Structure 1
């Protein structure tokens, strides 16, 4: 007897679950149909939500591209080793050969005193002033390119300190200070985007909450009749929750379209600019995981905004 009762209980539980899912599906479809019957109003509300969401999303994508670009610059950072004035070119070449065997160094380029002077003449235009000196005041230079695994700021800094201890070294400079400043600015901008996303997320909640409030007022009589015939608050609340969810999802789709189209418009000019700087950088668009996060996050915002509005205004409606 126990086994048939267990089977019967499982069948009833499954039937209840199927019924519950079917009712939610029916309410979701009917809420979507109600929105589609007023396409202009739905589009305007969804567009406002989409624009509010597109701003932080677009800034986030822009900062991701900026981080990727600064990462490429960081990997290409070099160390300039200025030798002491008394070091001859032959001694500098000997040092170059010795450092070339260093495990942390990928490449070394030697710039002799004569080459440094010729380049300085070409860039500065101070030919007459240099001629009056009667000699070459510029030292020899070694431009050191660290290995890829040593190209991060911390590891390059350790290599810099090691090179400073060389007896031939006069001045050692790490040519990535401006990259580190850019990274610091990017980090500040990321926090600003988080603050902006929070503020605009609250704005989306208010927009959806106000829209649901107006919907509740328009259906005031229908809600009263439903309560008179015994409908529970959960039953009455359900279509409004799905309405908020649809608004949020539509806003997320519009935000995605806005950001994707903006990246598409900017990608060609950015690629042309990158070619002028002899780099292969290109703007990265929104990946599939980020699209999923946008859609799910916007839908949850819509659901939360409608939940707050329904919980506040539905309890105030009582049949008389």
Structure 2
């Protein structure tokens, strides 16, 4: 078909009335409105966040008492967690001092005992081996007991030669030490292998029991925090009932009405977590000097450790989650009952 016989394009009357420039402006306005949605959403949330903080600041006394209650409830499991962490740190130093005593048979000659000591010291799980001859063992026993007359009346040395094995740090755990003791017990010439680690095993069992108790206490106190924040938010909702009715009359959605109360729970949780951190830090500072004096008396380099940065962040995050959970439960239950009539 030639250009002369080509039919003109039909346009709708509305499209024909609008010039191309106006249509481009309309499309540009729609696109810019979509781009403004995230900014508007962020602005609304920032307003609710700052507004909820302002409401808390305007009633300092009552809110301070609530925050102190939350801080004490959160400080208790945090303090118990630190007690267990320091106990584990102290038990690690005790495990490092664990020794395995190998009592050799009386028939084992000195040269064979020294060769056995060298073979044991060559094992990767052994740090060092100290060889105590029969005469050295008798001299140590004589000095420690003071029974010179009774020892001289024996006529011969009844004590065996002993190998004192110091395990490496890689096996400084009860199960690994017990496995090493059984292997050394099976060596030729060894009469008895003794590992004095039962008290450390009891300590580990006790710490495991305490850890489970801490988890239970933490869960119960976390539930108490949720209930305290939920009850506080419920009272705030009741105090603002008329305001909520007016907001719903003018078209406010449940999400818009719910938002400030959720941020109030967030502020309660964050403030309670900060108070808990402060209480734990003050308690550790108060106990630091006595613990250091006690460690020096026992010639130990043990020092109390506080909450690490990750633990502080975990405490604050846990408190914030509890605050949001309490606020969500309160708002979800009581906000639906407030409707304009």
TM-score computed with the length of structure 2 as normaliser:
0.85
Among 243, 253, 256, the alignment partner of 2:274 is: 253
The answer as to whether partners of 2:103 and 2:163 remain within 8 angstroms in 1 is yes
Moved more, 120-129 or 30-39: 120-129
The 3 A distance-change label for structure 1 pair 173 and 36 is same
Among 79, 82, 94, the alignment partner of 1:58 is: 79
Q: Confirm or deny that 1:265 pairs with 2:280.
A: no
Aligned to 1:93: 114
Q: Confirm or deny that 1:306 pairs with 2:327.
A: yes
Aligned to 1:104: 125
Using the TM superposition, give the Cα deviation of residue 307 of structure 1 relative to its aligned residue in structure 2, in angstroms.
Answer: 0.8
Alignment of 1:97-176 (within 5 A): 97-176=118-197
Q: Confirm or deny that 1:38 pairs with 2:59.
A: yes
Q: Confirm or deny that 1:297 pairs with 2:318.
A: yes
Using the TM superposition, give the Cα deviation of residue 193 of structure 1 relative to its aligned residue in structure 2, in angstroms.
Answer: 1.1
Q: Secondary structure at the match of 1:185?
A: helix
Aligned to 1:74: 95
Using the TM superposition, give the Cα deviation of residue 10 of structure 1 relative to its aligned residue in structure 2, in angstroms.
Answer: 5.0
The 3 A distance-change label for structure 1 pair 15 and 116 is same
Among 24, 27, 35, the alignment partner of 2:48 is: 27
Among 17, 20, 33, the alignment partner of 2:38 is: 17
Q: How many residues align?
A: 320
The answer as to whether partners of 2:103 and 2:193 remain within 8 angstroms in 1 is yes
Using the TM superposition, give the Cα deviation of residue 89 of structure 1 relative to its aligned residue in structure 2, in angstroms.
Answer: 4.7
For 1:117 and 1:10, the matched residues in 2 are separated by 96
For 1:6 and 1:169, the matched residues in 2 are separated by 92
Q: Confirm or deny that 1:196 pairs with 2:206.
A: no
Q: Secondary structure at the match of 1:256?
A: helix
The 3 A distance-change label for structure 1 pair 275 and 4 is farther
TM-score computed with the length of structure 1 as normaliser:
0.90
For 1:26 and 1:104, the matched residues in 2 are separated by 62
Moved more, 298-307 or 214-223: 214-223
Which structure 2 residue ranges, 5 or more long, are not aligned? 1-19
- Deviations, residues 13-40 of structure 1 (Å, cap 9, x unaligned): 3311111111111111111111111111
For 2:124 and 2:325, the matched residues in 1 are separated by 57
Aligned to 2:264: 243
Note the aligned Cα RMSD (angstroms).
2.5
The 3 A distance-change label for structure 1 pair 6 and 50 is farther
For 2:243 and 2:282, the matched residues in 1 are separated by 42
Aligned to 2:8: none
The 3 A distance-change label for structure 1 pair 43 and 128 is farther
The answer as to whether partners of 1:78 and 1:175 remain within 8 angstroms in 2 is yes
Among 243, 250, 264, the alignment partner of 1:229 is: 250
- Deviations, residues 71-94 of structure 1 (Å, cap 9, x unaligned): 232233221111123335554334
Aligned to 1:287: 308
Which structure 1 residue ranges, 5 or more long, are not aligned? none
Using the TM superposition, give the Cα deviation of residue 201 of structure 1 relative to its aligned residue in structure 2, in angstroms.
Answer: 0.5
For 1:203 and 1:317, the matched residues in 2 are separated by 26
The answer as to whether partners of 1:89 and 1:113 remain within 8 angstroms in 2 is no
Q: Secondary structure at the match of 2:157?
A: coil
Moved more, 72-81 or 298-307: 72-81
